[in-house]
A and B are shown apart, each in its own frame.
Chain A
C-alpha cells in the first residue's frame, strides 16, 4: 500500500505518464480513497497551471527599435 508521503514523491512520474501499470493502479487506488491526497494532486496541478500562466513582460520599445535596426542591417548583408 502506497503511503501519502510516498505518493507526494511519485506525483511527477504520474503526471508525466512515466509509471508502470502496477504503480499507476496503486496510485489511482490511493487517490480514490484518500481525500487529502486528492486535494494534494488537485493543488499540484493548479500550481503547475498557475506557474504556466505567469504573465510575460512585453518587449521594451527601445529594445524593439534596436532589434529592428539589426534586422535592417542583416537584410543589407
Chain B
C-alpha cells in the first residue's frame, strides 16, 4: 500500500467485482477525518487547532481499536496515550507513503503488540496460529436440511436500514457487546475492515497477516455479528 489517498486505498479491496457496501457515513459526518497533506504540515508547525481536529477525529476510533487488543478501558486509554506520543514523535519522519489514518493505526497496533509481550494478560497477537481454530459455521447447521437447503430460512428484520436498527439502544448495546466478545483476532480484523473501512490490503499490512487468513477471520467475525443481529431483530 503506497497510496496517499485513503479512498484509493479502499478501492484495492474492491478489485474483481462485488462491492462490500459497508456504510460508515453517518458517523464520519460527526467525526470527519481531516485531509492528510495540509494537516500534517500544520501539526509539524505546532498548530494547536490542527491537533485538536486530529484528536477529535481519531481518539474514539483509537480507543475502540485498542479495545480489540486489551480488555479494559483504562488499559486501552493508556495504549492510546502512548500512540499519541508516538504520533507526535513520528510526525517529523512521516513521509505520506500511507494514509495518515493507516500510519496512526499502525502505531497503535505496534504499541498494543509491545504491551501484549510485556504483560501476559493481554491478547498475544503474535500468536496468530491457525485461523481455523476459532471457527464455527456461518449459520447454525440445524437451520439446514440434510441436503443443505434452508429448513429455517432467514426472516425479515424489524427494520431495513442501519440507522433505523441502531435507533434502538438495546440493539446498539447488543451489537457492541457482540463485537467485544469476538475472539481477539477476529475483532481486530472486523474493527479495521467494517468499522474503520480500511482495505483488505491495508489490514494485512498493519497486522502482518496473509490475505486468506484475513478473509477467514473477517468471515467468522461477520458471521457472528450477523447471527447476533438476526437473533435480536428478526421478526417472529
A interface residues with partner B (beta carbon < 8 Å): 3-6, 8-9, 11-19, 24, 36-37, 39-40, 43-59, 63-64, 67-68, 70-72, 74-75
CA distance A15 to B138 in the complex (A): 15
**Residue B103 is within 8 A (CB to CB) of chain A in the complex:** no
Q: What separation, in Å, do the CA atoms of A46 and B175 have in the docked complex?
A: 13
- Check A49/B153 contact, CB under 8 A, given A3-B148, A17-B16, A56-B60: no
B residues near A (Cβ < 8 Å) are: 13-18, 20-27, 30-31, 46, 48, 51-52, 55-56, 59-61, 63-64, 77, 81, 84-85, 88-89, 137-139, 141, 144, 147-150, 153-154, 156-157, 160-163, 165-166, 172, 175-176, 179, 190, 194-195, 197, 200, 215, 218-219, 222-223, 225-226, 229-230
Residues of A within 8 A of B59 (CB): 59, 63-64, 67
How many Å from the CB of A21 to the closest CB on chain B?
10
Residue contact A43 to B230, C-beta cutoff 8 Å: yes
What residues on A are CB-neighbors of B148 within 8 Å? 3-6
Contact A8 B139 (CB under 8 A): yes
Docked complex Cα distance between A57 and B77 (Å):
13
Chain A minimum-CB-distance residue to B63: A57
Main secondary structure of the interface of B (DSSP, over half): helix
Query: Is the beta-carbon distance between A52 and B15 smaller than 8 angstroms?
Result: no
Q: B138 contacts which of A8, A17, A68 (Cβ < 8 Å)?
A: A8
| Contacts A15-B20, A39-B153, A70-B88 given; does A50 touch B165 at CB 8 Å | yes
Residues on B with beta carbons closer than 8 Å to the beta carbon of A19: 16-17
**Interface residues of A, dominant DSSP:** helix
Q: Is the CB of B48 within 8 A of A56?
A: no
In the complex the two chains form, is B77's CB within 8 Å of A44's CB? no
Q: A52-B22, A57-B60 are in contact. Are A17 and B15 (CB under 8 A)?
A: yes
Provide the residues of chain B in CB contact with A51, threshold 8 Å. 22, 175, 179, 190, 194-195, 225
A49 close to B218 (CB less than 8 A) = no
Q: Are A12 and B215 in contact (CB under 8 A)?
A: yes
Q: Report yes or no: B52 in contact with A50, Cβ–Cβ below 8 A.
A: no
B17 touches A55 (CB 8 A): no
Most chain A beta-carbon contacts within 10 A, residue among B150, B156, B165, B179: B150
User: How far apart sit A12 and B104, CA to CA, in the bound complex (Å)?
Assistant: 27
CB-CB under 8 A from B52, the residues of chain A are 64, 68
- Shortest CB distance B165–A (Å): 5
Does B14 lie within 8 Å of A75, measured CB to CB?
no
Contact partners of B56 in chain A: CB under 8 A: 58-59, 64
A53 to B165, CA, bound (A): 10
Residues of B within 8 A of A59 (CB): 55-56, 59-60
Bound-complex Cα distance A24 to B197 (A): 24
Known: A5-B144, A74-B88. A43 touches B154 (CB 8 A): yes
CB neighbours (8 Å) of B48 from chain A are 68, 71-72
Partner of A53, one of B27, B139, B157: B27
